[in-house]
Structure 1
Amino acid sequence: MKRVYERPLASSRGYERQRVALAPRSSRGSVLIIVMWICLGLVALALYFANSMNSELRAGDNRVAEVAARQAIAGGIRYATSVLTQYAVGGTVPALEDYRAEAVPVGDEASFWFIGRAYDALPSQQQTNEPFFALVDEASKLNLNTVTSAMLQALPLPDMTPEFADAIVAWRSANSQNAAIAENYYSQLDPPRHNKGAAYETVDELRLINGAMLPLVLGEDINRNGVLDANEDDGETSAPRDDQNGQLLAGLFEYVTVYTSEPTTSASGSRRINVTTLTTLQARQQLQSRLTQRGIPAQRAAQIMGRIPFSATNPTQNRALTSVADFMVTTQMTADEWVLVHTDLTATTAANGIAQGLVNVNTASYAVLSAIPGIGPDNAATLVAFRAANPSLLTSFAWLTQVLPANSIRTAGRYITGRSYQFSADIAGVAANGRGYGRVKVVFDMSTGRPRIVYRQDLTAYGWALGATTRRTLSGMKDT
């Protein structure tokens, strides 16, 4: 029942009473609570939208950082193009002191790095926890389209088997016993497929080969940066599984390529002379003339050519040279003479005249050198140490005569060169404070004298590849 409050009212007739109805106290409390809930809801909505806007701001900031990193990579590609145009002329490998390879700024918001390899590091001396920054010479690797099964088995890969090495060679072969065996294996898969029977187009095709397990093709280097990162040296705590011995066990990807080839013309534009044709008088006269054109006195040029056995009347006495290196040791040319003419020579018998798959002994790693016949593991360490001590001699491979006997050079000659025409730039781009990250590998072909991109692969998904020191530097932390 409602309570009634009466109060007197003044009027001409006297006091009258007015009855005023008041709500109970419980109803007034409910209204207050409802108002408070509404206020609380409004506050919650305000906080929600504020948090949402903050998240959008962070997402936008991260997107900007990603775009900055990608633009840094684009800048790295243009910079690599400029470096190769200036310094990779006529098969020359750009020297690291001629360009910047790490923390190269692109504007004020990003930088890029060239993730490279240290050519002159022996297994016991290799940097295991921080990347080496440089452009990579593709000719420092074995070419999958020319490498032999024996050379693959000679690589320091504990999981490499003769069967897998044969399967790698069979993949590019259409007619061979191993190709037939491989075809039979692939045809029984579900779904069935064929052995390719044609040249490799990318290194990643190795994953299709019978026996290609990740520990073999990638080793412990799961992010393919050439160093031992923390997660690659922690046993089974995180992927990949490793032996936790503090030494990087590289995979097959580290040592192979598909891009190496040498053009038929020299840096000056003249056609190379094939030393395997020096059993003919015309070829000999052409080469002797080329020697004098390059600054070798006529008498000395005649002496050089006279050291190659030749008889116009009895061809059986002619000795066919097998390689450019064979020509060098047979003629006993000096290093100074060799520098003048080595770019004018070739020994390829390919129909297109292009020499494919030669390994540059000036940049090849210990592991690759140890797989080359005539060099092997016994001489590979000696070659790497000599290169490191005599960098000024690496204008050709004439220095080999100071390290290897003539017979070893002749044996290795079919597989080696002193020039390079394909280079890869493994570019990591990072925005300010390390918030954005991207990584792209680009392969350049210099066969025509100008850089031409022949391959591009996004490696961002492989994870951080710049090492712990760079990460701490970018995040503003002091290196401890």
Structure 2
Amino acid sequence: MSSPNKPLRNVEESLSDPTVAFAAKPIGRQNRRRGFFLVLVLIVIAVATMAVYSFTDLMIAADETAYLTGDLVQARATVDSGIEAVRLTLAQPSSLREDAGGVFNNPNMFQGVPITDGSLGNPTSNFTVLAPGLTEMGTLGGIRYGLQNESARLNVNALVVLEENSEAISMLTGLSGGSVDAEGILGGATASEDSDVSTENIAVTLLMTLPGMDVTIADAILDWIDEDTEPRENGCEDEYYTSLATPYAAANGPIQTVEELLLVRGVTPQLLFGADSNRNGVLDSDEQQRYAASIETPGVLGWASYLTVHGAEANKTMDGDFRVNINGDDLEVLYEELMTAIGDEVFASFIVAYRIGGQSSLADSVASGASAEALAAQGIAAQDAANADSESEGTVLPWSVDALAAFDLTGGADIEFNQVLDLIDAKVTQEQNGETVTYTSPLIGEPTLLAEFLPFLMDQLTTQDGDVLPGRINLNECPAELLMGVPLVDSDTMTAILEARSQDSGGTTSDRTHETWPLTEGLVTVDQMRALLPLVTARGDVFRAQVIGFDSGSGLAARGEAIIDATTPNPRIVHYRDLTHLGRGFDLSVLGGNIVVPDNN
């Protein structure tokens, strides 16, 4: 019979056994610790995974950034290549450029020109050169593939010279029967209706043709660039600018960029740049909505589209040779130069004879009421004009080469040409055996005859020694707003010029390569052309190129604007502006692109 204390004794024995006690307690603790560390391990793995993922994502972004940066560098390099290609084109004589299609609107030369073809994994890089176009009415509108002639803009720095010669030009305008009309053919849309424009100041008249311009701003601009410190009636000088919260002084000299006009009183970014926010020269759809404007809105592209500080032309022929100065001192040398240049003995001999005893047909204008002051503006004395009007009792003969034998070329010259147009209907008189003999010019003032000889003579001859002629406005490419500001003819004649110009926009035919084409086409008279000639040209050798370098595949692009001076044998970049931050500016379909798909077979 078991003892009643046996179960209690068994329990005590179990508790006193160290093996049992050791085995019972740690088992639960070990299980709890093993599960806790598993959770920690999972957390660490999750955090590490997220870190690796974030690092990988960051590396992928950095890799893509590196590739995009490389592509952007390639796009900028493509822009540079496009500018160099333009420089190479402008290094060629004008005649060769015209033979290749010209630089006004030439998609074959300026649209989607490939730099790389996409082979070997390279991007398909192209460049396109774009410029604002002209509407049928001659206003800015649309686009074209080519360069902008800076002579198609008003040279701000030339305004002071025009102002100094305003009186003489106004006299010539009166002589030609023209009028100075600040509103011109476009009416009040181009000038402030309440502005009082002085018709005797050509500089103010030209400025007033800009949409939104008023006489106070025009005078302020002229005060900014002239050398004196005396303000005009509606202008201002340092006294105004030094009184501003941030004082500064007026330039009182030529400005370096058109943007400098923002410092002039009254000139605002809205007036200077208009609604063209991305500076691409056209009015995009988003800009139309933002500013509630259309391309017909006056001044929508801002004054910057009409102004420049770089307009100039080389005093050279279309073939790139220097013109012959018909006012040369040595008549024998002049005759040889003329024979080399024009190869016509009749014209060469008459020109040197004119330098001895010539008289311009402008002197005959006194018969129609021209003032002595107007004639003096062309270097003709009133007495000489009166003599020209009187009936001559001498013999009048057409000029012939044999007549040159009676002239002494070694005695020097007494007469100088004011213009090449002085040759038209000119006369040369000489005393022979006690009798006055008058020879008439071989260049007769009939449009059909002038069209045959005048373009060549205008190309080969000049009356100045200077290598560069600055400031004249390109008659073929300038906006109508500027053309109407030139004080030469009435509005009907100006309308005819614009209509004739629109039939050959860009002036790429031989008839439009000289500024006297309105005369040869019978649109203006000889006297009107005389008044026009100091102000206009059909050439211009400083060009603005807006170049877009782009990848045809990704659409990534860079954009730059360069002004290139081609008046020198090696065209040079006189101004550059990076426009990449303003966007591509044009759709890829507009830019085009000659893409060669690589053959991976």
- Give the TM-score taking structure 1 as reference length: 0.79
**Are 1:226 and 2:281 counterparts?**
yes
Which of 142, 155, 171 aligns to 1:143? It is 155
1:460 aligns with 2:469: no
Q: CA contact under 8 A between 2:229 and 2:238: conserved in structure 1?
A: no
Segment drifting more, 455-464 vs 76-85? 455-464
Structure 1 residues 115 and 292: CA distance shift in structure 2, 3 A: same
Report deviation, 1:69. Answer: 0.6
The residue that corresponds to 1:194 in the other structure is 249
Match of 2:472 among 358, 361, 371: 358
> Of 19, 23, 31, which residue of structure 2 is paired with 1:19?
23
The amino acid of 1:250's aligned partner reads L
In terms of Rg, which structure is larger? 2
Q: Of 105, 112, 129, which aligns to 2:114?
A: 105
1:123–1:355: structure 2 CA closer, same or farther, 3 Å change rule?
A: closer
Q: 1:79 to 1:125 in 2, by over 3 A?
A: closer
- What residue number does 1:343 align with? 459
Shift, 1:231, TM fit: 2.3
8 Å CA contact 1:172, 1:200 repeated in 2: yes
Shift of 1:26: 4.9
Displacement after TM superposition at 1:116 (Å): 1.2
What pairs up with 1:352-391 in 2 under 5 angstroms? 354-374=468-488, 378-390=492-504, 391=508
Seen in structure 2, the aligned counterparts of structure 1 residues 440 and 269 have a Cα distance that, compared at 3 Å, is same
Report the 3-state secondary structure (helix = DSSP H, G, I; strand = E; otherwise coil) of the residue aligned with 2:476.
coil
Note the C-alpha offset of 1:428. Answer: 1.6
Q: How many residues align?
A: 440
Q: Tell me if the contact between 2:132 and 2:140 (Cα under 8 Å) persists in the aligned partners.
A: no
- Matched ranges for 1:17-416 at <5 A: 19=23, 21-24=26-29, 26-88=32-94, 94=103, 96-97=105-106, 100-108=109-117, 109=123, 110-119=125-134, 121-122=136-137, 126-127=141-142, 131-147=143-159, 148-155=203-210, 157=211, 159-175=212-228, 177-178=230-231, 181-235=236-290, 242-245=291-294, 247=296, 249-264=300-315, 266=317, 269-270=321-322, 272-273=324-325, 292-295=339-342, 297-299=344-346, 308-309=360-361, 316-317=383-384, 323-324=419-420, 332=445, 334-347=450-463, 354-374=468-488, 378-390=492-504, 391-392=508-509, 393-401=511-519, 402=521, 403-416=523-536
SS in structure 2 at match of 1:338: helix
The one-letter code matched in structure 1 to 2:76 is R
Describe the SS at the equivalent of 1:262. strand
Structure 2 contact 149–477 (Cα < 8 Å) conserved: yes
* SS of equivalent residue, structure 2 residue 544: strand
Q: Post-superposition shift, 1:262?
A: 3.3
**CA offsets per residue over residues 244-287 of structure 1, 9 Å max, x none?**
3464612111011111223455556445426xx69xxx688877
Going from structure 1 to structure 2, the CA distance change for 1:91 and 1:42 (only over 3 Å counts) comes to closer
RMSD: 3.7
Deviation of residue 370 (structure 1)? 2.0
Taking the aligned partners of 2:551 and 2:424, their CA distance within structure 1 comes to 50
1:379 to 1:141, Cα distance in 2 relative to 1, 3 A: farther
CA–CA distance in 1 between the matches of 2:452 and 2:526? 18
- Structure 2 partner of 1:428: 548
Distance in 2 of aligned mates of 1:29 and 1:296 = 110
Q: Give the drift of 1:232.
A: 1.0
Residue 425 of structure 1 aligns to a residue whose secondary structure is strand
Seen in structure 2, the aligned counterparts of structure 1 residues 101 and 91 have a Cα distance that, compared at 3 Å, is: closer
SS of the residue corresponding to residue 212 of structure 1 reads: coil
Corresponding residue of 1:478: none
Give the whole-Å Cα distance in 1 for the aligned partners of 2:261 and 2:529.
31
Contact kept in structure 1, 2:516 and 2:529, CA below 8 Å: no
Distance 1:315 1:405 in 2: 22
Question: In 2 relative to 1, CA 260–375 (structure 1 residues): closer, same or farther, beyond 3 Å?
Answer: farther
Q: Distance in 2 between matches of 1:329 and 1:232?
A: 54
| Structure 1 residue 378, shift from structure 2 partner | 5.0
Residues 366 and 380 in structure 1, CA contact (< 8 A), matched pair in contact too: no
SS in 1 for 2:574: strand
Pairwise CA distance, 1:75: 0.9
Question: Structure 2 CA distance, aligned partners of 1:320 and 1:471?
Answer: 52
- What is the one-letter code of the residue matched to 2:242? S
Whole-Å Cα distance in 2 between the matches of residues 23 and 154 of structure 1? 99
C-alpha distance in structure 2 between counterparts of 1:465 and 1:299, whole Å? 56
Cα–Cα, structure 1 residues 119 and 271, in superposed 2: closer, same or farther, change >3 Å?
same
Give the Cα separation in 1 of the matches to 2:593 and 2:497. 36
The alpha-carbon distance between structure 1 residues 457 and 193, as it changes in their structure 2 partners (threshold 3 A), is same
Q: 1:94 to 1:473 in 2, by over 3 A?
A: closer
Q: Give the Cα–Cα distance (whole angstroms) in 1 for the partners of residues 424 and 58 of structure 2.
A: 73
Question: 1:90, 1:139 → 2: CA distance?
Answer: 20
Distance 1:172 1:125, change over 3 A: closer
Whole-angstrom CA distance in 1 between matches of 2:425 and 2:489 = 16
CA separation of 1:326 and 1:175: change in aligned 2, threshold 3 A: farther
**8 A contact 2:154–2:473 mirrored in 1:** yes
Q: CA deviation at 1:465?
A: 1.7
- 1:239 corresponding residue in structure 2: none
> Any conservation in 2 of the 1:229–1:467 contact (CA below 8 Å)?
no
Amino acid at match of 1:397: E
AA aligned to 2:482 is V
For 1:107 and 1:97, locate their aligned partners in 2 and report how far apart those are by CA, in whole Å.
21
Residues 308 and 283 (structure 1), Cα distance of their counterparts in 2 relative to 1, 3 Å cut:
farther
Contact in 2 for aligned 1:151/1:371 (Cα 8 Å): yes
Q: Which moved more, 1:116-125 or 1:26-35?
A: 116-125
Letter in 2 for 1:262: E
Structure 1 residue 98 displacement after superposition: 8.6
Segment drifting more, 222-231 vs 115-124:
115-124
5+ residue gaps, structure 2, are 1-18, 118-122, 160-202, 364-380, 386-414, 427-442, 595-601
Q: Distance in 2 between matches of 1:232 and 1:202?
A: 25
**Structure 1: how far apart are the matches of 2:425 and 2:215?**
34
C-alpha distance in structure 2 between counterparts of 1:322 and 1:355, whole Å: 15
